Structure 1
Amino acid sequence: MKLVKPLSYALVLFIFGFAQAQAPDFSRVVEEVKDSVVVISTEVESRGRTARGPSGSGFVIDKDGYILTNRHVIHGVEKIFVQLVNKKVYPAKLLGEDEGTDIALLQIDAKHLKAVKIGDVERLKVGSWVLAYGAPFGLEHTVTAGIVSAKGRSLGSEQYVPFIQTDAAVNRGNSGGPLFNHKGEVVGINSQIFSMTGGNMGLAFAIPMDLAMDVSEQLRKNGKVKRGFLGVGYEEVDYEKAKAFGVEEVKGALINAVAPESPAAAGGLKVGDIVVRVNDTEIISASELPFVIGRVRPGTDVEMGVLRDGKLIELEVTVGERSSNDIASTQPNSATGGIGLEVVELSEQMKAEANVNYGVLVRRVMSGPAQEAGIRQGDILQMLNQQTINSLDDYQSALAQLPDVGSVAILVARPGAGARFLVLKLGDTD
């Protein structure tokens, strides 16, 4: 037993030394890309006065002043400013923003800027080293390194983004900044973190660059994004469901709702079908279906491989266009009794996808009682303080009637996990 501790200690030192030896030197990459990364600041109107708004990061994708960032960094502000590495500050024009992917495209009146090089996301492997570049907490041009923890992550309401997950230290202010590979090529836009404290916990998520460039091109041309639409609800296929539906492999998207007069209904999709392929793209997980369909141009015919009654059939479906009215956002509530949430209306499509009849969708969770109660992005709020929530107006009304101090119940439906009551603790309840 006396040998366990020394041997364990030696093993730890060996592993640590090996890991350190394998970590890449990003100094060359930083030197090459620093001129392409920018700091974004904003101004908002507050009670008739100009106040400092949200801040974040961004990067140059075209030498003529085109810059990508996150929508949540600039949404709803009065003015946007971009600071280059040489400290020059330019007012920025918002060319377009897309809530479905949380991407915004800006332009500044500057020429001959150094644009980033775009990497191949398909060649990015889990375990690869990456570099996050940004301005966390206002600390300009901060770099942190980590590895790709996973690819194709689905995060609640961001259903059109197959996120890259990384353990690089990312915090508030990194939003909109680039995620580089070891070659100095951008592979993603740092967008979200999962945190119980509001700070880094080694769970950061980036928007893949192939998707970001597709969105930015549409924003540059049209100022908005046209997105494919089927009109179905879906869920994962597990072992028991595969057995019940008479299929051998545990994969695909199980259709649990088809909206009347939708493209899916017109194409012959039925409840109980399992979609396993769209054109040449195999659907392994149900969360991949909106990724794939969302990137199809409306009006395009797609070939769908569907398992029905245990047999593979082929369907041709003409993809529709998702209405911009399907997602309507509110600003984070700041009235007395605010619980730290940004919520959006549920469209009929969202209700079908989540298999619920009413509620509002949690778009973003901030520091406050809701976060402490365990509410997550993607949850659906159906009742607050014994008041049913059918709309944003209902939500705002319930918020206005919350006590300053005390405990209130909130009914939360979590896709795939059912509904349950959580307790919000308001004010000093000790």
Structure 2
Amino acid sequence: MKRCPLLLACLMACAALVPQGAHAEPPVRRAPVSAGALVASRGAGVVEIGTINVWVPSGSDEPEPEFAPSDTFGDRLARPQPISLSRREVRDLASGFVLTADGYIVSSAHVLWDAQEAQVRLQDGRHFPARLVGMDRITDVALLKIEATGLSPVVIGDSSKLAVGDWVAAIGSPFGFSGSVTAGIVSAKNRFLSGSGETAFLQTDVAINPGSSGSPLFNVDGEVVGLNSLIYSGSGGYMGVSFAVPINLAVDIARRLRAEGRIRRAWMGARLQGMTAALAQSFGVQDPTGALLVQITPGGPAALSGLQRGDIITAFNGAKVQDFSSLAMQMGDHGSGRPATLEIWRQGRKTTATVKLEEAVAVAPVPPPVPDAGELPRLGLTMAESGKDLQKQLGIDGGLLVRQAAGLSRSEGIQPGDVIVAANELRLDSVDDFDRVLSRLEPGASLALLVVRDRQPAYVPLRIPAGQNLPPRP
């Protein structure tokens, strides 16, 4: 639980007045906010993110989504109808939170890296196509933008003030169950994981499962202090250990992505390691901070500057280096092509070195495009009349077989192989019937399509977007 500085100051002042030997009351810590109050006050800032990746089979390998929803119609249809396709749509679900009222959304990069389409669903049920502003795989932070205003941004806290044992909670969409709340404590800070770069994670015992990636981690005051990113698991599900990107780092990355669309990192040509108390004692330093050089790239900036394995970088351009994660951000702020001054502890004494950093080469993702409604006739649907055999198999009379689904229709879960039997209350027997229904609608109007999949019917609502290429009115 978060400490109250004012309360602690008062207790310390009162302690000076207590006579020696007198019994002093232990410090009072605030109880955490209830889960109900947390959801009521902060839940509107949490979003669900659906992604689509079109996979072209080329062998036995296929994408493994974090959580592939078995039912894209919200438990109204049971299973996809089998159909032979040369292209397969892989759907995934994640979580995120509203950073600004004008539509900037923060989530995890790993669920958006290969996505060709992203859709953000708000707590009130509204959903918007999302544009990828940028993402950073090293810190696993992504920034999206939706065309919406008046949203409810979360309250950003200060992750540096968290202490081990503090109460924390998460709101997300594990396994597609949106608005799920889990709670626990901070188990450790500054956890560096193998294969996760220089990110110093928060470790918690908050239950995080597939679908929760990108969800906010709240403190006792309902402030976001972390971006839930990883779980340690041997089964694919939660096993008591989860990791979050500290919000101070996540917001800084989001700010950089908003400004430039990517993260510029400076390259030193050295592998770094975080310091510990045991390492500090081994190297003869009292302060267990800084970044320890464990490998030097031949011909790189570090090697050209005379840096050596075993050097401990304690300051960068006069600013103290807390760990190698903060050093990476300091180098990024400094940029490449200009000399930087390093303070170093080497073989029992302090020294300095000047290094000219180079810019690291980064692989940029392909942004998920926002479909242009005007280029997708019939709401992105390509259809044909269903045959008698299919009608008999599904137990229906009439209907249109979906050959392809794109844009709005695909985002709402309509798939090739579905059969649309009605639009609102009107039965559909031909594509002309569908065109006549669309021609009577204005942009912003709603249309409910009765869809049959694997003998299970469900209405799927679609809102006609502005600029939609509609058939001419009769």
What range describes the TM-score normalised by the shorter chain of this pair?
0.5 to 0.7
Q: Is the 8 A contact 2:114 2:365 kept in 1?
A: no
The residue that corresponds to 1:41 in the other structure is 50
Q: RMSD in angstroms over aligned alpha carbons?
A: 3.0
- Note the 1:270-281 alignment, pairs <5 A: 270-279=308-317
**1:238 positional shift:** 7.7
- Note the 1:13-92 alignment, pairs <5 A: 24-46=33-55, 47-49=85-87, 51-92=89-130
Kindly provide the amino acid, as one letter, of the partner of residue 140 in structure 2: D
Q: Is the 8 A contact 1:54 1:74 kept in 2?
A: no
- Give the 3 Å change call, closer, same or farther, for CA 147–239 of structure 1 in structure 2: closer
Q: Is the 8 A contact 2:32 2:220 kept in 1?
A: no
Per the alignment, in what secondary structure is the counterpart of residue 323 of structure 1? coil
The residue that corresponds to 1:131 in the other structure is 169
Number of residue pairs matched by the alignment: 308
Gaps of at least 5 residues in structure 2 are 1-29, 56-84, 367-474
Instruction: Find the aligned partners of 2:92 and 2:353 in 1 and give their Cα distance.
Output: 47
Q: Does 1:96 align with 2:134?
A: yes
Q: Is the 8 A contact 1:26 1:182 kept in 2?
A: no
Q: Percent identity?
A: 38
Kindly provide the amino acid, as one letter, of the partner of residue 133 in structure 2: L
Q: Is the 8 A contact 1:227 1:296 kept in 2?
A: no
- Give the 3 Å change call, closer, same or farther, for CA 328–105 of structure 1 in structure 2: closer
Query: How far does the alpha carbon of each residue in 1:140-188 deviate from its partner, in whole angstroms, 9 at most, with x for none?
Result: 1101111111111111222231111111111111101111111111111
Per the alignment, in what secondary structure is the counterpart of residue 87 of structure 1? coil
The residue that corresponds to 2:432 in the other structure is none
Instruction: Find the aligned partners of 1:236 and 1:61 in 2 and give their Cα distance.
Output: 30
Per the alignment, in what secondary structure is the counterpart of residue 198 of structure 2? strand
Instruction: Find the aligned partners of 1:241 and 1:39 in 2 and give their Cα distance.
Output: 43
Query: How far does the alpha carbon of each residue in 1:235-254 deviate from its partner, in whole angstroms, 9 at most, with x for none?
Result: 56789977876667766544
Per the alignment, in what secondary structure is the counterpart of residue 256 of structure 2? helix
Q: Is the 8 A contact 1:239 1:250 kept in 2?
A: yes
**1:229 positional shift:** 2.0
The residue that corresponds to 1:392 in the other structure is none
Q: Is the 8 A contact 2:270 2:294 kept in 1?
A: yes
- Give the 3 Å change call, closer, same or farther, for CA 51–120 of structure 1 in structure 2: same
Task: Pick from 249, 258, 267 the counterpart of residue 211 of structure 1.
Answer: 249
Gaps of at least 5 residues in structure 1 are 1-20, 330-430
Instruction: Find the aligned partners of 2:250 and 2:275 in 1 and give their Cα distance.
Output: 29
Instruction: Find the aligned partners of 2:333 and 2:187 in 1 and give their Cα distance.
Output: 24
- Give the 3 Å change call, closer, same or farther, for CA 268–113 of structure 1 in structure 2: same
Q: Does 1:183 align with 2:221?
A: yes
The higher radius of gyration belongs to: 2
Query: How far does the alpha carbon of each residue in 1:280-312 deviate from its partner, in whole angstroms, 9 at most, with x for none?
Result: 655566676546545654356544221223211
**1:222 positional shift:** 1.7
The residue that corresponds to 1:174 in the other structure is 212
Q: Is the 8 A contact 2:32 2:221 kept in 1?
A: no
Instruction: Find the aligned partners of 1:215 and 1:324 in 2 and give their Cα distance.
Output: 15
- Give the 3 Å change call, closer, same or farther, for CA 296–118 of structure 1 in structure 2: farther
**1:84 positional shift:** 0.6
The residue that corresponds to 1:226 in the other structure is 264
**1:35 positional shift:** 0.9
Instruction: Find the aligned partners of 2:239 and 2:311 in 1 and give their Cα distance.
Output: 39
Given the two structures, how large is their TM-score scaled by the length of structure 1? 0.64
Instruction: Find the aligned partners of 2:362 and 2:155 in 1 and give their Cα distance.
Output: 31
Q: Is the 8 A contact 2:33 2:221 kept in 1?
A: no
Task: Pick from 78, 82, 106 the counterpart of residue 144 of structure 2.
Answer: 106
* Larger displacement relative to structure 2 (219-228 or 236-245): 236-245
Q: Is the 8 A contact 2:158 2:248 kept in 1?
A: yes
Kindly provide the amino acid, as one letter, of the partner of residue 33 in structure 1: R
- Note the 1:307-386 alignment, pairs <5 A: 307-325=345-363
Instruction: Find the aligned partners of 1:244 and 1:104 in 2 and give their Cα distance.
Output: 39
Given the two structures, how large is their TM-score scaled by the length of structure 2? 0.59
* Larger displacement relative to structure 2 (242-251 or 21-30): 242-251
Task: Pick from 194, 200, 206 the counterpart of residue 156 of structure 1.
Answer: 194
Greater relative contact order structure (CA < 8 Å, 6+ sep): 2
Query: How far does the alpha carbon of each residue in 1:79-109 deviate from its partner, in whole angstroms, 9 at most, with x for none?
Result: 1111111111211111112111111111111
Query: How far does the alpha carbon of each residue in 1:181-221 deviate from its partner, in whole angstroms, 9 at most, with x for none?
Result: 11111111100000112111221111111211121122222
* Larger displacement relative to structure 2 (179-188 or 241-250): 241-250
Per the alignment, in what secondary structure is the counterpart of residue 54 of structure 2? strand
* Larger displacement relative to structure 2 (36-45 or 263-272): 263-272
Kindly provide the amino acid, as one letter, of the partner of residue 144 in structure 1: T
Instruction: Find the aligned partners of 1:243 and 1:209 in 2 and give their Cα distance.
Output: 31
**1:111 positional shift:** 1.1
